[in-house]
Structure 1
Amino acid sequence: MKYPITYILVASFALSINTANAKQWWESGMQSRQTHSDFGGVGLMQTPTARMDNDGEFSFTYYDNEEYRRMALNLQLFPWLETTIRYNDIRTRLFSSDPDFSNDQTYKDRGVDIKARLLEESYWVPELSVGFRDMAGTGKFAGEFIAASKRVGAFDFTLGMGWGYLGKNGNISNPFCDISDTFCERDAGFSGTGGSFEVDKWFRGDAAIFGGVEYQTPWPELILKLEYDSNNYLNEPALVDVEQSSPWNIGADYAISDGVQLKLSYERGNTLMFGFTLRTNFMTLGQLKPHKPKVAPEPPAQRSIDEFTDEEAATKVRSELWEESGTYVTRMQLTDDNQTLQLYGRQARYRDHEEGTDRAARVLINQTPEQVKVFEFIDTSGNMQLASTRVDRGEFRVAVERRKFDSEIESSYTRVDPNLNDWHNTEPFYEPESALTWPSFKLTPVVEQSFGNPETFYMYQLKLLGRSSFKLADNTYIRATFGANLLTNFDEFNFNVDSQDSELPRVRTYIREYVQQSDIWLRDLQISHMEQISNDWYASIYGGYLERMFGGVGGEVLYRPFDKNYAIGVDINAVKQRSFESHLGFRDYETITGHVTGYWKPEFLPDTLLRVSAGRFLAKDNGVQVAFEHKFDSGMIVGAYAAKTNVSAEEYGEGSFTKGFYISIPFDLMIMGNTTGRGSVGWSPLTRDGGQMLHRSTSLYHSTESRNPFY
């Protein structure tokens, strides 16, 4: 089988060079699309390249051969940083020797990779990147590399050096041995229970040179690959003999469409491999929506201030603002000179705040007397005043009517910190009565999922969540969430912490008991009150069933200055573990948990939020959780978190410390209409009891989003 495949690929290569278009492709120095390796990141087949995908590129890669089946999610987080989450299905091994525990499921190994670009390609200089494979797993496929890539016409050449799994054939001495003898040896296996960063092994032990070339054929859909592999396939995690007849691998990548690529390769001189990559881009992702025309500006309204402030007229304006712009107004008032119209409320339809402001200002420019020179929209949460957008009527009309060539609508907007005294010192001419109403209610289907479990690789629960909210007074609400199970296989979960030697209280590993309790359950039922202490200070108190596993009382204080890239909050909670044997009861376990949390949006990482929480966790362990979120142009947010406490890796158990990843998805990317709502999909490698935080349904940071918008 070896030679026919080789001849076919070589013949295709030669044929493509001799086509009439080859010279054009060569001279153009065409930037070919990036292809992915067997491991999921941008690369050749078994080895990486220095290349990066387009910013925001998100892909799923599946690759299959006799010993391994690989499934990888790859995200180009920044133009210079590639991240990969991967499962290696080792088909020659069982998950465990106990069929009652893991049935006949094959062994699954988790891995996390990163690759960072050090130098960007220029005319003379190649692209240079450094990377880490399986950097926080069991170390079965762990390796480090430095790679350089240079494109010449339709050819893209790569030369690199690898360590660990990427340096097994040891065809070159480790250059770091000249720095220190500690780099000459690399310990086998992994420390603790896996999941830790094995820094003391990086760039140590045997090293090997790898390299290859990609050729972009004159057919844009087809890319051919040739690779020299740096692995000798001895002592493989498959625990079987893996024969390597040749270190040379050849392959082809064919794009069916922009989002689907097929892969075929012949590797080790004896193994046929195949796979595919599905891809999209979080920067450009969007949803086609019916165009809703904006209100066209009309001649100035010939009405007096008294006519405008009439209750019937004001009610009409409020209704039109909601209909045309999604602006929900709770109060309207005029300054003493009648030149500034102040509207309190919130934008409840458009994620793009400027879109909502534009549409609302068009309504007001047609409805208000010319005497009103400024429209001021004050974003509120209850009666908390968070941010103010002032629209200069004159500049806005000039821009809308395009009276000046260089005028822009955005230049008529000014964002300021609200003056809290305006609320108290000015009499509103319109303020709907705040009367008790029936609670709001909505149903949402939710999929909860878990990957890599011993019982079965994929666990799921399709459930229906009913959310209800009841306003008792300004900033005081009762909120509840009910759940109903539609379809699940979580009942197969049989991990039993009681059989393990663990000194930690069970705060999350009772998940099986909670899931199996009933097909209908009360997730949370909470009364909460928020208050604005001053312009920059906010506070809240709350109590009830705070989440599925814990109930109690708590409070939070937040300092969040206007339009600053930082904030700091403190929360403290007295909680008790809820019963999984009854819907409303409690167990004996109780604790005090709380954290000091800092929020920071660094200028050197655009559209990024860092959150650091230090304090006491649910299992009475003390430590720090660090969370990272990055937002793309489409509104998609990718986040990761990790918690490290005074619990040792051995006490924590498999995984060594708590970590996870999630994607937050704007609902308006999935529907034809506009909405500010979001949903999320999370992934946690393992559920253990250390480093677990209380899942509070509301937080002051999210409730004060308008102070410095991120979401």
Structure 2
Amino acid sequence: MLVFQKGHSREEGLLDDPVRYSHSDLGGVGLLQVPTARHAPDGDFHVNFSHVSPYNRTSISAQVLSWLEGTVRYTAITNRKYSNDEEFSGDQSYKDRGFDVKVRLSQESKLIPEVSLAMHDFAGTGLFSTEYILGSKRFFNWDFTLGLAWGNGGARGGIKNPFTLISNRFKDRNAETGEGGDVSFGNYFSGEEVSVVGGVEYAPSGSDWVLKVEFDGNDYQSEGLDNNFNQVYPINVGAGYRINDLFSVQLGLERGDTVMAGIQLGMNFGSEEALMPKFDKKPESILQKSPDLRSVKDVLSLDEEAFGLRDRLLKEKVNMSALKSTDTEVTIYAKQSKYRDQAEAVGRVTRVLINELPSTLSSVRYINQEANLNTNQVVVYTGPFEKAVVNDSQVGFESSFMKKGNAPIGYEEGVNKLVEYPSFDWRIRPVFSPSFGAPEAFVIYQLWVKLAADIQFNDNWSLNNVMGIDVLNNYDELEVVSESVLPHVRSDVAKYAEEGSTGIKRMQSDYIWKPSKTTFARISGGLFESMYGGVGGELLYRSVSNRLAMGIDANYVKQRDYNQLFEFRDYTVVTGHLSVYYDMPISNTLAKVSAGRYLAGDVGTTIDLSRKFKTGVVMGGWTTFTDVSSEDFGEGSFDKGIYIKFPLDLFFVESRKESLTASWRPITRDGGQKLIMGNQLYSLISN
């Protein structure tokens, strides 16, 4: 794909400013078929669609870190059927899944090019498996790339593989494609010969056009599925045009006689400019008023004053459950439901309290609650806070006027509780649930209505219910029956989808409490998810001042019937994990490692890495390895996938706290499958 991203040059006189980046047919930053050593700005996210007969490519590319690009791609090979069974394949073409990564090895300087290592289809069937070492150097509006390609992208050859000088094992490259998900370490940088690749990109200053010419290292005589075709010229040419900040289009000629066309949608999650402009009610101005020397405790001693204050805070979408006061300080226990950033809510609450309470108020103690758990506390000193608020601007957490710490275990002695039990809350919203790459249809989808109702019986005990009502789906196209040799803990998903299209998604009762200021506990029972119900528990250690957290959970569950009502099947299992979380100081990245027993009774480890960007978007991925062999696991070899969590704040002109999560895994198998439990403690207290 050919699009532009603005950046800044590092060497005046050699690098044009702004530096612009474009994307290749395959999705990542590059020329046409060949990637470059360039990387998009940190947080860049693009969806790409391209056509170069016989390939239709759909890909998602993300600049996960400033030096790491990742791409997930589906390739429809339109002149090949999905399988050898023509009746089963129907009209669906063969689909190939692939993962790409590109790592920057060195940055560009006045004399040294930017150098990157790129690996295409490194964890897939290997149909298009290619490794690249690339260097890119910019001179004014021209950006030159030169490198070497191994594998599919270097099939033209012409140069002896330099790695064969190190070891003879690099001479042989397995031409057979494996099952999706295989990682063929033995093939990387192997083969008798490699090919030179490269090209040039010309992006005129002040223009939205970009022109490209490249030398293609693939001669297309060794394509997978015996799908070889002629290449008139090894030179590809193309042009791209940036329509606006979101859309770009491209057109070109490849192999000398094949038209390339594509379109791309993109934005940058690393910049708050990607957020919709907000038209929230302005934060309350701090009033100039006559000194009031009454104590805060005296003013709030009357219930009508306390309930009046609660009503005032509800207008700021802050639900206060209790408060406590001294002569100079007020403590409130509250949950805010509007703002993605807790600092926004705390700042608004502090403004209201300064205006409503006497001038003797010197500090506000805000105890944040999630599911009635005290997750953290923030103390705001009102004097420095007032000085920091200029022109009614909202201020975040600043050490000059606030202190953040661990919250108390529960309601402290002497608090005035303003909540009555049982309390009831409900929500309704539409949900669209797609999955991709099924044999029967490329997209299997359901549009359904989510009805959620929560009952809080007391400070610790709650019941959470989710009902799903089907509106529209194409589950009737699902025909393949799982042949897994493992217990069918997930692979019967088609039966659950069709027979339980309308059903109970969750009916979970939880008792949640804090044994200490830094430990959290949960005991649960009921219907945990669409496929399992049972009993279980969890214990978590987490301190506000510590980047490391640890948790353990154990559950005895029984498989639910396909109709997702109250019946169960015969399968039962004990599953649980010991988990370690580390909030890394680099790039706001969270690492989670879990070890334990999975739903099929297999034992192993899951590694989950995710990063949160300034917009609130979270990108992450996981991989799981258990004692199930790749043969027993089936296609995919081991479980892995990616997910993106989108805050609704990204799409609305008013602030929203909620988010939507989209996940993708190559194929659903039975090995390495975890229970999908509601109210997991780490997620709950990290809101």
TM over 0.5: yes
For residues 301 and 672 of structure 1, the distance between their equivalents in structure 2, rounded to whole angstroms, comes to 38
Q: Are 2:421 and 1:435 aligned? A: yes
Greater helix proportion: 1
For residues 573 and 429 of structure 2, the distance between their equivalents in structure 1, rounded to whole angstroms, comes to 32
Cα deviation per residue 1:225-247 (whole Å; 9 max; x = unaligned)?
A: 11111111112125344111211
Q: Which amino acid aligns with 1:297?
A: I
**1:402 Cα deviation (Å)?**
8.0
- Other structure's SS at 2:581 match: strand
**1:65 Cα deviation (Å)?**
2.3
Change (3 A) 1:541 1:118: same
Aligned to 2:213: 226
Aligned to 2:632: 651
- Other structure's SS at 2:569 match: strand
For residues 67 and 419 of structure 2, the distance between their equivalents in structure 1, rounded to whole angstroms, comes to 54
Whether the aligned pair in 1 keeps the contact of 2:44 and 2:62 (CA below 8 Å) is: yes
Q: Which amino acid aligns with 2:335?
A: R
Q: Are 2:382 and 1:393 aligned? A: yes
Cα deviation per residue 1:474-525 (whole Å; 9 max; x = unaligned)?
A: 121011110111111122111212xx3x320001111121122144211111
**1:382 Cα deviation (Å)?**
5.2
Q: Are 2:47 and 1:60 aligned? A: yes
Change (3 A) 1:576 1:274: same
Q: Are 2:29 and 1:42 aligned? A: yes
For residues 536 and 564 of structure 2, the distance between their equivalents in structure 1, rounded to whole angstroms, comes to 23
Q: Which amino acid aligns with 1:489?
A: N
**Candidates 631, 635, 638, aligned match of 2:612:** 631
Aligned to 1:320: 312
For residues 537 and 120 of structure 1, the distance between their equivalents in structure 2, rounded to whole angstroms, comes to 44
Whether the aligned pair in 1 keeps the contact of 2:531 and 2:564 (CA below 8 Å) is: no
Q: Which amino acid aligns with 1:471?
A: Q
Aligned to 1:286: 275
Change (3 A) 1:352 1:407: closer
Aligned to 2:82: 95
Q: Which amino acid aligns with 2:429?
A: T
- Counterparts of 1:102-501 in structure 2 under 5 Å? 102-191=89-178, 193-205=179-191, 206-218=193-205, 220-237=207-224, 239-284=226-271, 285-298=274-287, 299=289, 302=292, 304-305=294-295, 306-324=298-316, 326-335=317-326, 338-381=327-370, 384-400=373-389, 411-420=400-409, 423-424=411-412, 426-428=413-415, 430-437=416-423, 439-497=424-482, 500=483
Cα deviation per residue 1:216-273 (whole Å; 9 max; x = unaligned)?
A: 1356111111111111111212534411121111111111222221111111122221
- Other structure's SS at 1:418 match: coil
Aligned to 1:83: 70
Whether the aligned pair in 1 keeps the contact of 2:530 and 2:564 (CA below 8 Å) is: no
Cα deviation per residue 1:536-560 (whole Å; 9 max; x = unaligned)?
A: 1111111111111111100111111
Q: Which amino acid aligns with 2:318?
A: T
For residues 299 and 519 of structure 2, the distance between their equivalents in structure 1, rounded to whole angstroms, comes to 39
**1:581 Cα deviation (Å)?**
5.0
For residues 631 and 382 of structure 1, the distance between their equivalents in structure 2, rounded to whole angstroms, comes to 23
- Other structure's SS at 2:457 match: strand
For residues 482 and 383 of structure 1, the distance between their equivalents in structure 2, rounded to whole angstroms, comes to 23
TM-score with structure 2 length normalisation? 0.93
For residues 232 and 382 of structure 1, the distance between their equivalents in structure 2, rounded to whole angstroms, comes to 60
**1:27 Cα deviation (Å)?**
7.5
Change (3 A) 1:163 1:148: same
For residues 166 and 397 of structure 2, the distance between their equivalents in structure 1, rounded to whole angstroms, comes to 59
- Other structure's SS at 1:703 match: helix
**Candidates 569, 590, 613, aligned match of 2:551:** 569
Give ranges in structure 2 of 5+ residues lacking alignment.
1-11
- Other structure's SS at 2:559 match: strand
- Other structure's SS at 1:114 match: strand
Cα deviation per residue 1:583-604 (whole Å; 9 max; x = unaligned)?
A: 211111111111111111122x
For residues 282 and 581 of structure 1, the distance between their equivalents in structure 2, rounded to whole angstroms, comes to 39
For residues 220 and 589 of structure 2, the distance between their equivalents in structure 1, rounded to whole angstroms, comes to 40
- Other structure's SS at 2:315 match: helix
- Counterparts of 1:589-628 in structure 2 under 5 Å? 589-603=571-585, 605-628=586-609
Aligned to 2:7: none
Q: Which amino acid aligns with 1:523?
A: K
Aligned to 1:677: 658
**1:680 Cα deviation (Å)?**
1.2
The more displaced of 275-284 and 553-562 is 275-284
**1:98 Cα deviation (Å)?**
1.8
**1:357 Cα deviation (Å)?**
1.5
Aligned to 1:10: none
For residues 215 and 402 of structure 1, the distance between their equivalents in structure 2, rounded to whole angstroms, comes to 46
Aligned to 1:69: 56
Change (3 A) 1:222 1:536: same
Whether the aligned pair in 2 keeps the contact of 1:301 and 1:366 (CA below 8 Å) is: no
Change (3 A) 1:682 1:407: closer
Whether the aligned pair in 2 keeps the contact of 1:398 and 1:407 (CA below 8 Å) is: no
Cα deviation per residue 1:621-674 (whole Å; 9 max; x = unaligned)?
A: 111111121111111111211211111111111111111222111112222322
TM-score with structure 1 length normalisation? 0.90
**1:393 Cα deviation (Å)?**
1.4
Q: Which amino acid aligns with 2:544?
A: F
Whether the aligned pair in 2 keeps the contact of 1:92 and 1:239 (CA below 8 Å) is: no
Aligned to 1:587: 569
RMSD: 2.1
Q: Which amino acid aligns with 2:577?
A: H
For residues 453 and 109 of structure 1, the distance between their equivalents in structure 2, rounded to whole angstroms, comes to 11
The more displaced of 262-271 and 144-153 is 262-271
Change (3 A) 1:458 1:382: closer
Q: Which amino acid aligns with 2:441?
A: T
Identity %: 36
**1:366 Cα deviation (Å)?**
1.4
- Other structure's SS at 1:111 match: strand
Whether the aligned pair in 1 keeps the contact of 2:644 and 2:662 (CA below 8 Å) is: yes
The more displaced of 555-564 and 128-137 is 555-564
- Other structure's SS at 2:340 match: coil
For residues 239 and 341 of structure 2, the distance between their equivalents in structure 1, rounded to whole angstroms, comes to 42
**Candidates 560, 577, 593, aligned match of 1:578:** 560
For residues 454 and 265 of structure 2, the distance between their equivalents in structure 1, rounded to whole angstroms, comes to 40
Aligned to 1:20: none
Q: Which amino acid aligns with 1:277?
A: Q
- Other structure's SS at 2:456 match: strand
- Other structure's SS at 2:374 match: strand
Q: Which amino acid aligns with 1:232?
A: D
Give ranges in structure 1 of 5+ residues lacking alignment.
1-24, 706-710
Q: Which amino acid aligns with 2:491?
A: T
Whether the aligned pair in 1 keeps the contact of 2:61 and 2:72 (CA below 8 Å) is: yes
Aligned to 1:511: 493
